[in-house]
Amino acid sequence: MTTTQADVPPLHHGPAIAAPRRRRLHISRASLRAYAPAVVLLALCLLVTLANPSFIETRNLIRVANAAAVPLTLAMGTTFIILIGSIDLSAEGAVAVAAMVVVLLAKNDLNGMDLGWGAALLAVCAAGLMGLISGLVQTGLRIPSFMATLGTWFIGLGLATYMLGGSAVRLMDPRLRFLALGRFGGLPVAVWVALAAFAVAAVIQTQTRLGRHILALGGGEDLAEYSGISPARVRILAFTLAGLFYGVAGVLAATQLGQSNAVIGDGRLFAAITAVVVGGTALTGGEGGVFNTLIGVLIVTVLSNGMVLLGISPYVQQTVQGLMIIAAVALSLDRLRLKIVK
């Protein structure tokens, strides 16, 4: 019996049609992960407004912006560390050191120092030095980043406790207090400082070689090294850069509280990491960035403000934040590509 061309089944038609469908499905999932944080922020604002219309009052929105100033500045530094696929636990120690330095070197109720803005500059440099030490320890001793930064965290807390004598020292410099009490264009000066920190971080990520190398290192250290990038150098610079942002956050925290104490950074590490992850930056590195973190900080701050307006217990707020970070990590990871979960 002779087989005609019409009797031959179309062997290759199935895969040829299925592949584009799988590709479109993959693109839609990637798009969903990219735009999900912004959609969540808009939905959250709408829900809180419906539950309590006072949320959109100008006074409350300014309060939200002011509450987001320190977390945003702190999260800028955390973002660069997570982008390279590492984790930085030293943020609270760096904030404590920066706050300690700025208060002790500016006009205060403990000693006769009065360096003014010079105290703020030295505080930022001190936190940057802590970041540099973290990077050198992590790359030089080749130990996990979370262990290296855990050590610098406790070094910072111990140093701040010793220098402050275990008590709170008041900041009495009116020039530095202006960062918290002063206003420009209707917004607290601290908000403008945080926005400036965000703008600097955005320029570094998108317009500099360091920003491109950080993303490349997070995407794959072996490939980055084959491309001529020095992983050790990029890590050291990333941790130093993060420390500088922590320093700015520490100065803002001290001026907002009007004092410095060893526990001024308590809880800020969790808030920063939560904001970065909720914003869509992958913990595996190489995906996301400071723009995602801005959205994440706003989500965390709006959620906290909304729960306060609704009279929700602080303990319930912590539970909600914990559930939120678990959900964010689950949505940000492409579990189809993860063969092993450690």
For residue range 137-180, list pLDDT tens digits in order.
999 998 888 899 999 999 999 999 999 887 889 999 999 999 98
Predicted pLDDT at 269: 87
Give me the amino acid identity at 141. L
Number of domains forming the structure of the chain: 1
What is the domain-level CATH number for residue 82?
1.10.3470.10
Q: Is residue 49 part of a domain?
A: no
Question: How many whole angstroms separate alpha carbon 280 and alpha carbon 16?
Answer: 33
Q: Is residue 271 part of a domain?
A: no
Helix (H) or strand (E) holding 170, with range, is strand 169-170
Q: Is residue 256 part of a domain?
A: yes
Q: Is residue 308 part of a domain?
A: no
Please state the pTM of the whole predicted model: 0.86
Q: Is residue 337 part of a domain?
A: no
Predicted pLDDT at 221: 80
Q: Is residue 332 part of a domain?
A: no
Predicted pLDDT at 265: 86
The answer to whether 230 touches 210, Cβ cutoff 8 Å, is no
Per the structure, the complete domain to which residue 86 belongs is given by 57-265
Q: Is residue 30 part of a domain?
A: no
Gyration radius of the chain over CA positions: 24
Question: How many whole angstroms separate alpha carbon 280 and alpha carbon 292?
Answer: 6
pLDDT tens by residue, the chain, 342 residues: 444 444 545 544 444 444 455 545 454 555 666 778 888 899 989 999 999 999 999 999 999 999 999 999 999 999 999 999 899 999 999 999 999 999 999 998 888 888 989 999 999 999 999 999 999 999 999 888 889 999 999 999 999 999 988 788 999 999 999 998 899 988 999 999 999 999 999 999 999 999 999 999 988 888 888 888 898 999 999 999 999 999 999 999 999 998 888 889 888 888 888 899 888 888 888 888 999 999 999 999 998 898 888 888 777 877 887 787 777 667 665 544 544 444
Predicted pLDDT at 340: 43
Predicted pLDDT at 39: 87
Q: Which two tokens stand for residue 170?
A: 């008041």
Q: Which two tokens stand for residue 164?
A: 């402050």
Q: Is residue 34 part of a domain?
A: no
Find all residues with CB under 8 Å of 102, minimum gap 6, and list them.
Answer: 119, 120, 122, 123, 171, 176, 250, 251, 254, 255, 260
Predicted pLDDT at 228: 84
Alpha-carbon distance values, 298 to 30, 48, 186, 240, 315 (Å): 22, 13, 19, 25, 21
Predicted pLDDT at 17: 47
Supply the DSSP symbol for 169: E
Question: How many whole angstroms separate alpha carbon 300 and alpha carbon 255?
Answer: 22
